[in-house]
Amino acid sequence: MPFTPADQFFMQYALELAARGRFTTHPNPNVGCVIVAAEQVDLSAGPQQWRDCIVGAGFHERAGGPHAEVFALRAAGDRARGATAYVTLEPCSHHGRTPPCAEALLKAAVGRVVVAMQDPFPAVSGRGIELLRNAGIQVDVGLLSDEAFAVSAAFFTKVAKQRPFVQVKLAASMDGKTALASGESKWITSPQARRDVQVGRAQAGAILSGAGTVLADDPSLNVRVEEFPADVLYFQEQPQAEQLRGSEHLDPALKKSMQAFAPQTGVAPKHVRQPLRVIIDHRGEISPQARIFQDQNPVWIVRTQALDVALPAHAQEIIVAAGADGKVSLPALLEKLATANILSVWVESGARLAGALLDANLVDELILYQAPKFLGSGAKELLTMTGPTKMAAVQEWQVVACQQVGPDLKITMRPDGALAK
Active site (catalytic) residues: 69
Asked whether residue 314 is marked as a ligand-binding residue, the answer is no
Asked whether residue 185 is marked as a ligand-binding residue, the answer is yes
* Contact by Cβ (8 Å): 193, 408: yes
Asked whether residue 33 is marked as a ligand-binding residue, the answer is no
Asked whether residue 397 is marked as a ligand-binding residue, the answer is no
Asked whether residue 313 is marked as a ligand-binding residue, the answer is no
* Contact by Cβ (8 Å): 237, 210: no
Asked whether residue 171 is marked as a ligand-binding residue, the answer is yes
* Contact by Cβ (8 Å): 119, 83: no
Q: Where would I find the H helices in 309-396?
A: 330-339, 351-359
Asked whether residue 92 is marked as a ligand-binding residue, the answer is yes
Asked whether residue 221 is marked as a ligand-binding residue, the answer is yes
Asked whether residue 106 is marked as a ligand-binding residue, the answer is no
Residues 6+ apart with CB under 8 A from 107: none
Asked whether residue 402 is marked as a ligand-binding residue, the answer is no
Phi-psi group of 134: left, alpha or beta (phi > 0 → left; psi -120 to 50 → alpha; rest → beta): alpha
Q: Where would I find the H helices in 297-403?
A: 330-339, 351-359
**For residue 235, which amino acid is it?**
F
Asked whether residue 217 is marked as a ligand-binding residue, the answer is yes
Asked whether residue 4 is marked as a ligand-binding residue, the answer is no
Distance of alpha carbon 204 from alpha carbon 369, whole angstroms: 18
* Contact by Cβ (8 Å): 228, 195: yes
Asked whether residue 393 is marked as a ligand-binding residue, the answer is no
Q: What is the dihedral of CA 214, 218, 221, 226, to 10 degrees?
A: -170
Asked whether residue 414 is marked as a ligand-binding residue, the answer is no
Asked whether residue 335 is marked as a ligand-binding residue, the answer is no
Handedness of CA 383, 334, 414, 262 (dihedral sign): negative
Asked whether residue 18 is marked as a ligand-binding residue, the answer is no
Distance of alpha carbon 41 from alpha carbon 50, whole angstroms: 6
Asked whether residue 262 is marked as a ligand-binding residue, the answer is no
Asked whether residue 408 is marked as a ligand-binding residue, the answer is no
Query: Phi and psi of 68, rounded to 5°?
Result: -55, -40
Q: How many residues does the chain have?
A: 421
Closest of 281, 363, 357 to residue 319, by C-alpha: 281
Asked whether residue 67 is marked as a ligand-binding residue, the answer is yes
Residues 6+ apart with CB under 8 A from 271: none
Cis amide bond preceding 300, omega within 30:
no
Distance of alpha carbon 393 from alpha carbon 64, whole angstroms: 44
* H or E stretch covering 403: strand 397-405
Annotated binding site for Zn(2+): 67, 92, 101
Annotated binding site for substrate: 185, 201, 224, 348
Annotated binding site: 67, 92, 101, 171, 185, 187, 201, 213, 217, 221, 224, 348, 350-356
Annotated binding site for NADP(+): 171, 187, 213, 217, 221, 350-356
